[in-house]
Amino acid sequence: MTGTIDRKEHWQGVYERKHEDEVSWYQARPETSLRLIANTGLGREAAIIDAGAGASRLVDYLLDSGYADITVLDIADTALGKARERLGERAGQVDWIIADLLAWRPRRPYDIWHDRAVFHFLTQAEERRRYVEVLKSALKPGGHVIIATFAPDGPEKCSGLPVMRHSPESIAAELGAGFKLLETADEHHVTPAGKVQHFNYARLKRVE
């Protein structure tokens, strides 16, 4: 998968064909993400972006917890449409962005960047370099990054696409010296079909 159009077509199609709770990455409650966001110690006014959020329920729980500055970004408007519909009136409290992360130019800085199961699709070094560039242009100094990928013993594919599996340390190495690894977490995610997928989470702080 090389360009924005291929990527967009793939993901648009996935969310057209499947309900939000039929995709393998569906979580009724994203416990690990919520815990790591709380562990940043930042207040409810923190600006949070869920990058490649799909139709994730993370935004619902962040709103429930009183977070007031949430941005949800995805390449597929079919995914964001599902989340907006689910949230009803509360969708108006969220900033929705349809964009290819790798071509996106952030218009404002964020305190927390969250990505579950997006970075692992970047199998080319050039794509990962671009991701880190965009991440840096979106994150405040001292801001936190939470990235979750399939672990080295996790599946080799996600949504039919090849992935690059990571340890928290390899995620930190990809981000480079400007980030300090503060916390790691393991998740054994059970898909709607009952398969177990091993995820690694890394929480890092921007130090440069």
Ligand X SMILES: C[S@@+](CC[C@H](N)C(=O)[O-])C[C@H]1O[C@@H](n2cnc3c(N)ncnc32)[C@H](O)[C@@H]1O
Report how many residues bind ligand X under the rule CB under 6 A: 20
For tokens 């995914």, name the residue.
79
Tell me: does residue 149 bind ligand X (CB under 6 A): no
Nearest distance in Å: CB 101, ligand X: 3
In sequence order, which ranges of the chain are alpha helices (DSSP H)?
4-17, 31-39, 58-64, 77-87, 125-138, 168-175
Near ligand X by CB under 6 A, which window of 64-72, 97-105, 163-171, 195-203?
97-105
Nearest distance in Å: CB 174, ligand X: 16
Near ligand X by CB under 6 A, which window of 53-61, 63-71, 171-179, 180-188?
53-61
Tally of CB atoms within 10 A around 110: 22
Of 147, 158, 164, 202, the one binding ligand X by CB under 6 A:
158
Burial 156-170 (b: 16+ CB within 10 A, else e): eebeeeebbbbebee
Nearest distance in Å: CB 208, ligand X: 25
CA distance linking residue 97 with residue 131, whole number of Å: 16
Near ligand X by CB under 6 A, which window of 68-76, 84-92, 135-143, 182-190?
68-76
